[in-house]
Amino acid sequence: MKKLAPLAMLALSACAAKPLEMSVPTQAGHNLHSAKVAVNSCITEADIGGNSAVIGGYATNILLFSPLIGTLVTVPIQDELRAQGEIDQVDRCMTRLGFERRNLSDGEQIWLNDSHGEERVRRLDHLVGGGTVETYRAPRT
């Protein structure tokens, strides 16, 4: 029984969803439009990842505990498992297309949120292409 408690905690922590941070897909030479096209093509695979995560969660907990307890442990976290599985599947698809998820720093989030309209699109284009706040140059008017 002493060995089961740490194993149970490990199983539950593995099922917890990671917080979703503000991020952009990046790939040199690409812009916001090409990133949107890639995301839209990868969204179609999200259900596959979500279903796999839920099935894996049930299977793991049933094997670790028992059919009854494993099911009771998994039911409350099913939505989180599905959401994280969908996110992970879209990330895998984007990686196959050559994009990488780049989590934005707090400063970059503020910089991006302080812009609107065409300026926001220009800043997003810059970030998607692999640029940083420090390397951004506003267009001259």
CA dihedral 122, 42, 44, 59 (to 10 degrees): -130
Q: Considering the entire predicted model, what is its pTM?
A: 0.77
CB 49 within 8 A of CB 86: yes
* Residue 8 predicted with pLDDT over 50: no
Mean pLDDT of 4-12: 43
pLDDT tens sequence across 37-62: 999 999 999 999 999 999 999 999 99
pLDDT in tens, 93-135: 999 999 999 999 999 999 999 999 999 999 999 999 999 999 9
- Residue 10 pLDDT grade (very low, low, confident, very high; cuts 50, 70, 90): very low
Confirm if 78 and 70 have CB atoms less than 8 A apart. Answer: no
Q: How far apart are CA 23 and CA 100, in angstroms?
A: 10
The mean pLDDT value for 1-11 works out to 44
Q: What is the pLDDT of residue 19?
A: 55
User: Is residue 29's pLDDT more than 90?
Assistant: yes
The continuous run of DSSP H or E covering 1 comes out as none
**Cα–Cα distance, 87 to 85 (Å, whole number):** 5
Query: Lowest-confidence range among 9-23, 61-75, 127-141?
Result: 9-23
Tell me which amino acid residue 67 is: P
> Residue 129 has what pLDDT?
94
Give the integer Cα–Cα distance in Å for 117 and 137. 17
